[in-house]
Amino acid sequence: MSKKESENRDEIKDFIREKIQKDLRSGVIKRVVTRFPPEPNGFLHIGHAKSMGLNFGVAKEFNGECHLRFDDTNPTKEDQEFIEAICEDVRWLGYRWNGKVYYASDNFEKLYEYAVFLINLGKAYVDDLSAQEIHKYRGSLIEAGTESPFRKRSKEENLDLFKRMRAGEFEEGARVLRAKINMASGNINLRDPILYRILKANHPRTGGDWCIYPTYDFAHGQTDAIEGVTHSLCTLEFEDHRPLYDWLVDLLPLPCKPKQYEFSRLNLSYTVLSKRFLTQLIINQTVAGWDDPRMPTILGLRRRGVPPEAIRDFVSRLAITKTDGTVETVLLDHCIRNYLNEHAVRRMAVLNPVRVVIENYPESGSEEIEAENLPGNKSAGKRLIPFSRELYIEQEDFMEEPSKNFFRLAPGREVRLRYAYFITCKEVKRNEKGEITEIICSYDPLTKGGQSPDGRKVKGTLHWVSSQHSIPATVRLFEPLFVDEKIENKDRFENSLNPNSLTVLDNCYLEPALKEAKSEVPVQFERLGYFCVDAKDSKEQLAFNRTVSLRDTFKRKNIHQT
């Protein structure tokens, strides 16, 4: 944990840390053990980073350990690809487990024994009702459930049927194992929940050894106990499941009795984090895949150039509460800028070019201009940038009839070229369509380094690249996928899609040093923002993704539009 992360953590006091501290001081536990338990049925997103930050964070703070555990109880949706990707995401984010990766499937035999134990206690039974019938019999929030006609089966019959379920005698959906609790409970999760179902699908780890699989509700608490987890930290949607978690933990002969505590999940403005809706974005081809830089997945953020240190800083600032709320994306952007401002080297790039010709500079001449790699950090060194008679500057840095507050290049006006010289606009050339093709300027050779020996001042400083020495590139600019801060009707989230979420600029020019840019290592394009080379798409020519702008403009722009 960095010094900055530690300072942020010290500023935040939350009920989970207070509970852990109390348990340690009272001797209820000797050592903290938490777990991060993703299901291997998809890729991780920024919401998972909050859970990682809490589970791995409190384990480290209290000198305990956090297990990486896959709750792999549904082979119909799980894949080894997801397991490997999740392990890589956790490692990339900088979280460390104790060397062993845990799986719920490690305990399939033990979980089966626990199910048999419940049958012997008269606390579980095999039910022949269909899924639709079970749902109907459960009742509603205002109506009590109805007991299944199979609820009174004898222990012997239940044991026989359950063994035959395991042996594969029955088809999927023919039978399930249910806990026998209370069909009149005000908590629907206690109305005889399903513990096992028949799934005739190969498991990524156990292959065809099993054809019955425990539900998440059954496997969760028992797996925690087997691993010695002391504090099972879940998001708020599991709060109504806690009575079932405790019922099972108290009833079964487990090696320890973990406690479940719930905290608010991450809701991020202009963002959808539901796996179902993220999948729909891919099916609809709204995005190019799970690693699309607009996606809130760890893969997408990584490809966009977001550093793991910034994500850890972000999640360390989030409140751990029992109340759901929405966090502004500007906080994440702020954490990204904070980190990159100190670590990203500076380079020059022109994204919307217009040609500048310096008429009094030698036609075949060129020179190298010295520039700092990271202002204020001498250890980052300096670089040499080629300068020549013909340059590119940004189109928006020139205005033929400048407004009052425009201080950049205009006819008759003198400006500074970053690190180089003062230039003055003399003439503008146009094509037959009336478009500006060249800006003719003169330069003052005595102002090398951007300083005037006579002390005269200029208000505008422009970035530039030498047209002769520059390298072409494609640059992609991103905005949030959605224009609405909160997506109220997620079933119709297409109505909130941002048509400007991706802008592709194909006619960009970069200083030569950017040939050496590496993927996942953002640089600052001076005056433009932070960018990262996209190794996946840099085939014919370099492609860069904008990681984040130098300041937030998205919200201000949308307010203006509405």
Active-site residue list: 39, 265, 275
Tokens at 540, concatenated: 């014919």
CA distance 62 to 522: 34
- Cα angle for residues 263, 265, 266 (degrees, 5° grid): 135
Q: In b/e form, how buried is each residue of 270-287, taking b as 16+ CB within 10 angstroms?
A: bbbbebeebebbeeeebb
Phi and psi at 274, nearest 5°, equal -65, 130
Specify whether the CB–CB gap between 161 and 137 falls below 8 A.
Answer: no
Token pair 């070019």: residue: 353
CA distance 48 to 262: 14
Tokens at 140, concatenated: 């509603």
Q: Which amino acid is at 156?
A: E
Specify whether the CB–CB gap between 389 and 357 falls below 8 A.
Answer: yes
Find the helix or strand (DSSP H, E) in which 43 lies. Answer: none
User: For 396, which DSSP code?
Assistant: G
Tokens at 211, concatenated: 């054809």
* Dihedral-angle region of residue 122 (phi above 0 means left; psi in -120 to 50 means alpha; beta otherwise): left
Q: Which residues, in sequence order, are CB contacts of 226 under 8 Å at separation 6+?
A: 107, 110, 254, 255
Tokens at 268, concatenated: 């991020």
User: For 406, which DSSP code?
Assistant: -
Tokens at 495, concatenated: 């109505």
